[in-house]
Amino acid sequence: MSHDHDHAQPHRHPPQPDEEDTTPPEYRRLETAVRELLLEKGLFTADEMRQVLERFDSQTPAIGARVVARAWVDPAYRTRLLADGSAAVAELGIDMEEVKLLVVENTPQVHNLIVCTLCSCYPRPVLGLPPDWYKSRAYRSRAVREPRSLLREFGTVIPDGVAVRVHDSSADMRYLVLPMRPTGTEEMGEAELAELVTRDSMIGVSLPRRLQTAKG
């Protein structure tokens, strides 16, 4: 698009609407009303709530990538991680809070895929907030109904000889996929390996980055 700016002559662009310029949806208004009531009644303080939001925003897939990279370089850690995910991530200073972490391992015979068909359960302490598609009805239903064609749309083709094992986070466990370590990474250190581990590879819709697309 051609757009000739003459900065010598100021002109007005149409203003972008601020958040307050649109009508908030019903659940937003409900949340505001309940939150204000809880604050007024002193059940928690504004600062406590801010701290929770700050903690949510500090959780990112880089935390899960650190866990995966450690399991790749330390076979004893991998064994502990598969036996008791919550305890093994606590070794790295990660608190799973009230839910339990269950780590499922990809192998040459098995590819794992995580979904929550009922809502949007997700291992937030290790992956942060879920992507919007993870919460969509299309993903939630197709992950259990036609996982192979769903995976193809993510660019992930699972060979016929490999079983697709879907995990529905229907109750109190949260799941993290331990992807297979890419070939040709034998010389790489833990921090470098963590760079290969993407969010999607830990949900199971994708595989880790390969060397040619990796940094360095």
Return the closest-CA partner of residue 215 out of 185, 173, 178, 177.
185
CB nearer another protein, residue 169 or residue 185: 169
Catalytic residue list contains 121: yes
- Please, what sign has the CA dihedral across residues 184, 188, 190, 192? negative
d(CA 123, CA 105): 15
Longest dimension (CA), the chain: 68
Of 119, 136, 141, 170, the active-site residue reads: 119
Residue 81 phi/psi, 5-degree rounding, is: -65, -40
Catalytic residue list contains 170: no
110-115 and 163-168 beta bridge pairing = parallel
Residue 169 in contact with another protein, rule: CB under 8 A: yes
Which residue in 84, 168, 192, 195 binds another protein (CB under 8 A)? 168
CB nearer another protein, residue 72 or residue 175: 175
DSSP 48: H
Cβ 116 to another protein shortest distance, Å: 10
Residue 30 in contact with another protein, rule: CB under 8 A: no
Residue 164 in contact with another protein, rule: CB under 8 A: yes
Contact assessment for residue 79 and residue 86, using Cβ atoms and an 8 Å cutoff: no
Which residue in 39, 62, 166, 214 binds another protein (CB under 8 A)? 166
- Burial degree of 120 (CB within 10 A; 0-12, 13-18, 19+): middle
Residues in contact with another protein, counted by CB under 8 A, come to a total of 23
CB nearer another protein, residue 129 or residue 162: 162
Site residues for another protein, window 132-161 (CB under 8 A)? Answer: 144-149, 160-161
Residue 38 in contact with another protein, rule: CB under 8 A: no
Site string for another protein, 83-102 (x = CB under 8 A): -----------------x--
Joined together, the tokens standing for residue 111 give: 């590819």
Of 2, 58, 86, 121, the active-site residue reads: 121
Residue 124 in contact with another protein, rule: CB under 8 A: no
**How far lies 2's CA from each of 15, 135, 174, in Å?**
20, 39, 50
Positions marked catalytic: 116, 119-121
Give the residues lining the site for another protein (CB under 8 A). Answer: 100, 117-118, 144-149, 160-173
